[in-house]
Chain A
Amino acid sequence: MTYLDWASTSPPDAGILHEAAGVAADCYGNPSSSHALGTKAKAKLEEARARLAGAISPSGAAAAAGASMAPRLLFTSGGTEADGIVLLALLRQALNSRRDGSIKRLHVIATEIEHAAVYEEALLLKALGIAVTFVAPESDGRVDPRKIGAAVEKDSALVAVMAVNNETGAIQRLPEIALAIAEAALSFGRPPPRFHVDAVQALGKTAFDPAASGATSAAFSAHKLRGPRGVGALWTAGVPQAGVPLEPLSLGGGQERGLRPGTENLQGAWAFAAAAARAQSAFAGHAAHASALEARLLDGLKHIPSALALPLGRAAGDARYSPYIMSAAFPGLSGEVLARALSDLGIAVSTGAACSSNSRRTGRRVMRAMGLSEELSLSAIRVSTGELSCEADIDAFLEAASSAYRRLKT
């Protein structure tokens, strides 16, 4: 099978899985136990945490040395849970404010192109009475920082903007967005709201550093960069935003500073750290490789009559996009049908987010939000590459897509 669905998940690194299995077998004590086995596991967990922190945010890790308000890194069960901790904390905040009467209203801003892990939670907050503003992207798939700034209100408590969109690869201008948020908040005489970044598609693939991006929290996942599934991380800046500490909705044994209770997944944490460190050290080489594949794909698409790269006008080497993620429209053929036909030809791609292709309810939300017609949106498929992808994969895709499109287009 030609695997071009790396944005859904990546083939795990067998060496890392093996190493992690060794850690699991060797350090089986509960990190919260006070006996020697527990202490040993705890030490291993902290070693993984420091290693991952260094891979995620080299600048933050360096600044942290000696600082009392150092950034923190929590292990979670994945990107979705990391997002959920931050978004659902608003419910605790709402509860607290109702108790002491300090804040009448809470407001949240999210983009219309967020991953379901953020978007659906935002809808839930809305259903539970928290005001939510959704900000649309421009036609290039990027959100205008000024629009985020304009959406900020006096009561805004949280802004969520993803780092790299999982369907278009659009890289968001986070530092400018952070600045726009701060300026808008200042105009109300308020401290800036929390700024959460879903960075699941960014880690190891773009030059994203949460500390440098202006984010106050960021969500990560291990399996997108050849780590195992079931482990992710939530990075938080050292300073509690607007004086409001992050309070969890799920409670338990107080692990991970109480924000993510539950016995720690030591082997997962270990593997995540190893995978992230590996991706970080090979970053430049991998990125150059991805750019070459991107160029090959976008060039090849031009030779398939009627096929279009998405967002419209995307060209190779465009710094607005992650070279690892591309979408293409095949007008007159549903993306779902093309993906099915490609699968029969031995090629794995997705229509949008793999996890939302099960539900018709949301349709092609991201494409529609960019102002694309229904026909183009529904005809889109996503091609995503990784370090093991090669030119032959791209060529195989182009050939198969071209023949399937010719045969099945209506």
Chain B
Amino acid sequence: MDAFYLIKIGEILLKLGNRREFEDRLRSQLHKRFDSADIPHTIEMYPGRYFVTVPEERSADAEFILARTPGVNGYARAIKAQKSVEAVLAAAIEVARGRLAQGKRSFKAESRRSDKSFPLGSFELSARIGEVVLAAFPESRVDLHRPEFTINAEIRERAYIFADPEPGVRGLPVGSGGKGILLLSGGIDSPVAGYMMARRGLALEALYFHSYPYTSQEAKDKVASLAHVLSAYTGNLVLWTAPFTETQLKIKKDAREDLTTLMMRAAMMRAAGLLAERIGANCIVTGESLGQVASQTAENLRLTQSLTDYPVLRPLVGIDKEETITLAKRIGSFDISILPYEDCCVLFSPKHPMLKAKLEREREAYDRLDLDALIIDALKKADRQEILQGPRP
């Protein structure tokens, strides 16, 4: 038997001139993800609704993907039926049977009829569904205000009957917003930033700076694990690991102590800009949040921003750590992020870091460090790893 899913799309519907492009993007994203997980499937597209069919034994894997694909607003296991009253009512009883088996009792029915040739109106159809379900299951009862489940019937090109769609991550299909470089560290923030931008349709390649031997192989593996978690949302993901030790040692040696962290951030931004150029990305994404640490004041962000003309997107800029942690827990990155492996910042811990950089003065200090050759070399040696969107854990 096959599992049949009705998929609701949201924001895409608001697009006017280029809606078709977004729809194609979402379809190809779904194909890619199901293919990557080796799930045989078919996708049907109708205006405002997609339908996916997979083998029953892969239904849990399919739901894992549907729940994490940006552009999908919600999805529900559905029964597709012929457009006859009898067929719809029979399917409604089946849907109700499934919910009652989960111990739910109170329900209501909701119908939408876009095919006006169907003999019953929406209101009448809902009432009939209520009647037949009550008759079939004496333990059930109707509750229009706080039902434990809702039976939906949609009469369109065919009839679809389902209950309580599961939420998707909404947003726009990955790739519709272009491609960005995500600065991925081992921390809590950057994976969340990546998740948020993937939901805005950005395809991502992640860039991690590895300062071996100051940072360990475990720290590097941790970043790969984070990329793996993220890939459930972004689809297959490229992870670049750039060796950064030489650059950092030079900063440590030549920069004023209070500027070391800031200079490192600036160097990272420079590297991200160069990589963006190389791979054809059109923006840079970071997990920075205003005022969270010394390097993330507006003045300091202005300095780091000055190292690239790509827009630097900071989806976490206005939210606090607690909100970020809530999101990190939801996407499953939190438990990995808190593993105790040091990141490359351990090399620098100025007691009194510069809080308010003066653009001209500090930019000049950065330029004097003359890091470009080292940064270019680091990118040349960078390791490119394809993180395949993994199966359901």
Interface of A with B (CB < 8 Å)? 334, 336-338, 340-341, 344, 360, 408, 410
Contacts and interface: CB of A to CB of B under 8 A. Distances in A.
B393 interface: no
Contact of B347 (A336, A344, A410): A410
Contact of B216 (A336, A338, A408, A410): A336
Contacts of A337: 213-214
18 contacts: A334-B214, A334-B346, A336-B216, A337-B213, A337-B214, A338-B213, A340-B212, A340-B213, A340-B216, A341-B213, A344-B213, A360-B340, A408-B213, A408-B214, A408-B249, A410-B249, A410-B252, A410-B347
Contacts of B216: 336, 340
A364 to B, nearest CB: 15
Given A334-B214, A338-B213, A410-B347, 14 more contacts: A334-B346, A337-B213, A337-B214, A340-B212, A340-B213, A340-B216, A341-B213, A344-B213, A360-B340, A408-B213, A408-B214, A408-B249, A410-B249, A410-B252
The A contact surface, by secondary structure, is helix
Interface string B339-350: 010000011000
B198 to A, nearest CB: 32
B61 to A, nearest CB: 34
What range describes how many residues of B lie at the interface?
A: under 10
A360 B347 CA distance: 17
A287 B19 CA distance: 82
A337 B217 CA distance: 11
A344 B216 CA distance: 12
Contacts of A338: 213
A111 B84 CA distance: 83
Contacts of B212: 340
A334 B341 CA distance: 13
Interface string B213-239: 110100000000000000000000000
Interface in B319-378: 340, 346-347
Which 8 pairs show the lowest CB-CB distances between chains A and B? A340-B213, A341-B213, A360-B340, A337-B213, A337-B214, A410-B252, A410-B347, A340-B216
B216 to A, nearest CB: 6
Contacts of A408: 213-214, 249
Interface in B180-224: 212-214, 216
Interface centre among B213, B214, B346 (most CB of A within 10 A): B213
Interface centre among B214, B216, B340, B346 (most CB of A within 10 A): B214
Interface in B219-276: 249, 252
Contacts of A340: 212-213, 216
A291 to B, nearest CB: 32
B159 to A, nearest CB: 59
Nearest to B216: A340
A164 B232 CA distance: 51
Contacts of A334: 214, 346
Contacts of B340: 360
B104 to A, nearest CB: 44
A337 B219 CA distance: 12
Nearest to A408: B213
Nearest to A341: B213
Contacts of A410: 249, 252, 347
Contacts of B347: 410
Nearest to A340: B213
A170 to B, nearest CB: 29
B345 to A, nearest CB: 12
A338 B249 CA distance: 15
A63 B74 CA distance: 81
Interface centre among A338, A360, A410 (most CB of B within 10 A): A410
A408 B214 CA distance: 8
A360 B340 CA distance: 7
Contacts of B252: 410
Contacts of B214: 334, 337, 408
A336 to B, nearest CB: 7
A272 B70 CA distance: 61
A268 to B, nearest CB: 32
Interface centre among A338, A340, A344, A360 (most CB of B within 10 A): A340
A410 B249 CA distance: 8
A337 B212 CA distance: 8
Nearest to B346: A334
Nearest to A339: B213
A363 B370 CA distance: 37
